[in-house]
Amino acid sequence: MVSVFLKTDELKMLEQVWFPLVITLKIAITSTLLVALIGVIISYLLARRDFRGKWIADVLVTLPLVLPPTVTGYVLVVLLGRNGSLGEILYDITGWTILFTWEAAVIAAFIVSLPLMVKTTTAAIEAVDRDFEYAAFTLGRKELETALFITLPLAKKGILAGTVLSFARAVGEFGATLMVAGNIPGRTNTMSISIYSAFQAGNNELANLLVIILITMSFASMAITAKLVNSWKI
Amino acid sequence: MGIKVDFRKRYYNKKSDKKKGKEASFTLDVQFELGDELVVLFGRSGSGKTTTLQCISGLLEPNGGKIVVNDNVYFDCHKRTNLPVQQRSLGYVFQNYALFPHMDVKKNIAYGLKGWNEVNKEKRVIEMLQLLHIEGLEHNYPSQLSGGQKQRVALARALAPKPDILLLDEPFSALDMVVRMKLREKIKEIQRELRIPVLFITHNHVEAFTIADKVVIFHEGRVQQIGTPEDVFYQPSNRHVAELVGLSNIFEDAIALNVDEAPETLVLECGNLKVITNKPDRIVAEKVSWGIRPENLRILPLTDDAKSRENTFKACVKSVVNKGASKVLALEIAEHKNLLLAEMANQFFEDVDLRTGDECLARIEMSKIVIF
């Protein structure tokens, strides 16, 4: 119905803005939920457990933070492609290939934002005084209960900060996403990729609009987090 | 009933040292067997008191030995028994209280009451609030409590699940004198009522003396002496214990000589310093150490005609330190160059009015000499 009142140009513009916005949020939210869940588990293990090869786990998780996104993207393409080790198993089982889908973009966003979550959360958990946990143990509480009801609530500021950073990183992800998910209009053209293609095509009007939306979104998520954290006493 | 402890815990500088079979940098070797009484673990920082408590609680695993509380085996190296902390039924009060900051007082106290139904839980929390006189604070958060109140909540939380043993790690170190005294009494009262072993860490010897039924003295990872406060304060078994209980003036390797004319006395000869003392009931070795508390040195003006009395020496004041209600004087005995510390109440100090460099008489109270 909207189209009745809009010129074709405007309608096209809306599509060019609306779709990247929706796909970006879908990818970023899915990836952030996964990062938050898995990141907290990894962080807890890194902060509180001693195990063989702990330092290797730490380095592996952090690596995407320092690698160029193209390298991360390339490794993912090799792994997830129909001939890649993981991709082949997936194809044999389901007959589906993940490359150039929005799910591939989720994996790329997950890998690049995980280090931000893990670094921030590990530091926050390490900062929780162990006496609180020991006290819970002496009061008959098991480690899992203690982690869920004592340690993590006391590290919540750090966990939230890590989650927001991961979300922001996922929204802004460009290089690895372009390599694993491509730039398929209507399927995988995220905001950051759309800005690049609009700029390449000389469509400054669209690029400006997308840039303003992206900045506003990032600013709002950071501002809301800061407000929330300030309202928490502990 | 009671607690029986005999275990070892070794610490290494590096993890690899243990594998290489190198000697441990610190070894804690603890043995004691005590009843349902209030036991003070007393010693300097780093002597192994907290580690002992952590091994008993199961927060640390000893390298060998056995820990039994009320016939319940907590740890046995040979039988490979190591009861998890959660199953040890103990109350632990931490030095920094460790109250959960995100829970109010009521939730903190109820936290150990897992598996209790709501009615009993509520009842138990109220009982604990009344026992520790903290009614009305149940909806406050730890950040809204004073130090003394926090300590009471920590005690209430530890006692709520009806533990078999109560462990307190320097619980009063951050509290002021008045609150300390009140809480000491409270702990004694609770122990008498519950009749469970209470292990209490402190390095304040006044606290150890006033609160304890038994004192266990630690030094460099070893138990030095176990006894009533009177035992350890008046009959320390060695120099470490003597120093810990405040015998600042210690003379080692003194030769003990019997005096034929006065069989009930003993002369202690240490270099050219000779003092006379009452003969202790027990048999004394030929070579002994002896000590005297600073407050048992009497300071007299030089003009005093008591110069010829026993154990009285001419001394020179080297320094005067004000301790508030008393003064501590460092004295050098003129003939022997030995340095002695004397402590005297302000009102007596005013009478003699000594300054650095002045001379006076120092008398070592014969009956107050401690031989070990």
Nearest to A138 among B92, B102, B141 (CB): B92
Give the CA count within 13 Å in the CB-facing half-sphere of A144. Answer: 0
**pLDDT grade, residue B307 (50/70/90)?**
low
Nearest to B94 among A131, A140, A141 (CB): A131
Predicted confidence at residue B287, as pLDDT, reads 85
Q: CA A165, A171, A175, A177 torsion: positive or negative? A: positive
Q: Which residue has the tokens 């889908």?
A: A101
Distance CA B324, CA A70 (A): 72
Predicted-complex ipTM score: 0.85
- Nearest-Cα distance to chain A for B119, in Å, is 19
Distance CA A134, CA B310 (A): 58
Establish if B85 touches chain A: CB-CB under 8 angstroms. yes
Establish if A234 touches chain B: CB-CB under 8 angstroms. yes
Nearest to A139 among B59, B112, B143 (CB): B112
Establish if A139 touches chain B: CB-CB under 8 angstroms. yes
Task: Give the mean pLDDT of B56-67.
Answer: 95
pLDDT of B79 above 50: yes
Tell which of B59, B88, B128, B162 to mutate to test the A interface (max A CBs under 10 Å).
Answer: B59
Predicted confidence at residue A1, as pLDDT, reads 46
Which residues, listed in sequence order, are joined to residue B249 by a DSSP beta bridge? B292
Task: Give the mean pLDDT of B329-337.
Answer: 83
Distance CA B28, CA B220 (A): 8
Render each residue's pLDDT in chain A as its tens digit; 234 residues. 444 566 677 777 778 899 999 999 999 999 999 999 999 999 999 999 999 999 999 999 999 999 999 999 999 999 998 888 888 888 888 888 888 999 999 999 999 999 999 999 999 999 999 999 999 999 999 999 999 999 999 999 999 999 999 999 999 999 999 999 988 888 889 999 999 999 999 999 999 999 999 999 999 988 998 898 888 876
Predicted confidence at residue B310, as pLDDT, reads 82
Predicted confidence at residue A103, as pLDDT, reads 94
Q: Of chain B residues 94-113, which have a CB less than 8 A from chain A?
A: 94, 96, 98, 100-102, 111-112
Q: What is the pLDDT of residues B15-50, one digit of tens each?
A: 888 888 888 889 999 999 999 999 999 999 999 999
The DSSP line for A69-134 is: HHHHHHHHHHHHSTTSHHHHHHHHHHS---TTSHHHHHHHHHHHHHHHHHHHHHHHHHTS-HHHHH
Q: What is the pLDDT of residues B112-122, one digit of tens each?
A: 999 999 999 99
The one-letter code for the residue type at A159 is I
pLDDT of B329 above 80: yes
Instruction: Give the CATH class of B3-89+163-234.
Output: alpha beta
Predicted confidence at residue A54, as pLDDT, reads 94
Q: Which residue has the tokens 């090869």?
A: A53
Q: Of chain A residues 94-133, which have a CB less than 8 A from chain B?
A: 129, 131-132
Predicted confidence at residue B304, as pLDDT, reads 60
B98–A131 CB contact, under 8 Å: yes
Show residues of chain A in contact with B98, CB under 8 Å.
129, 131-132, 134-135
- Write the secondary structure of chain B as one string of H (helix), E (strand) and C (coil): CCEEEEEEEEECCCHHHHHCCCCCCEEEEEEEEECCCEEEEECCCCCCHHHHHHHHHCCCCCCEEEEEECCEEEEECCCCEECCHHHCCEEEECCCCCCCCCCCHHHHHHCCCCCCCHHHHHHHHHHHHHHCCCCCCCCCCHHHCCHHHHHHHHHHHHHCCCCCEEEEECCCCCCCHHHHHHHHHHHHHHHHHHCCCEEEEECCHHHHHHHCCEEEEEECCEEEEEECHHHHHHCCCCHHHHHHCCCCEEEEEEEEEECCCCCCEEEEEECCEEEEEECCCCCCCCEEEEEECHHHEEEECCCCHHHHCCCEEEEEEEEEEECCCEEEEEEEECCCCCEEEEEEEHHHHHHHCCCCCCEEEEEECHHHCEEC
**Angle formed by the axes of helices A204-231 and A156-172, nearest 10°:** 180
Predicted confidence at residue A5, as pLDDT, reads 60
Establish if B92 touches chain A: CB-CB under 8 angstroms. yes
Instruction: Give the CATH class of A7-49+68-126+156-226.
Output: mainly alpha
Establish if B161 touches chain A: CB-CB under 8 angstroms. yes
A134–B143 CB contact, under 8 Å: no
Nearest to B100 among A132, A137, A138 (CB): A132
Distance CA B300, CA B307 (A): 9
Predicted confidence at residue B19, as pLDDT, reads 80
Please work out, in degrees rounded to the nearest 5, the angle formed at the alpha carbon of residue A223 by the alpha carbons of A220 and A228: 125
Q: Of chain B residues 28-57, which have a CB less than 8 A from chain A?
A: 57
The DSSP line for A182-193 is: ---TTTT--HHH
Q: CA B189, B193, B194, B197 torsion: positive or negative? A: positive
Mean of per-residue pLDDT scores for chain B: 90
Show residues of chain B in contact with A154, CB under 8 Å.
100-102
Domain coordinates in residue numbering, chain A:
7-49+68-126+156-226
Distance CA B144, CA A116 (A): 35
Q: What is the pLDDT of residues B120-158, one digit of tens each?
A: 999 999 999 999 999 999 999 999 999 999 999 999 999
Long-range CB contacts for residues B139-142, cutoff 8 Å, separation at least 24 = B139/B104, B139/B105, B139/B106, B140/B104, B140/B105, B141/A233, B141/B101, B141/B102, B141/B103, B141/B104, B141/B105, B142/B97, B142/B99, B142/B100, B142/B101, B142/B105, B142/B108
Establish if B308 touches chain A: CB-CB under 8 angstroms. no
Residue of A nearest to B98 (CA): A132
> What is the third-level CATH fold of B294-365?
OB fold (Dihydrolipoamide Acetyltransferase, E2P) (2.40.50)
- What is the separation, in whole angstroms, between the first and last Cα of chain A? 50
A138–B100 CB contact, under 8 Å: no
Predicted confidence at residue A6, as pLDDT, reads 61
Establish if B15 touches chain A: CB-CB under 8 angstroms. no
Show residues of chain B in contact with A137, CB under 8 Å.
58-59, 85-86
Phi, psi (deg, nearest 5) at residue A183:
-135, 65
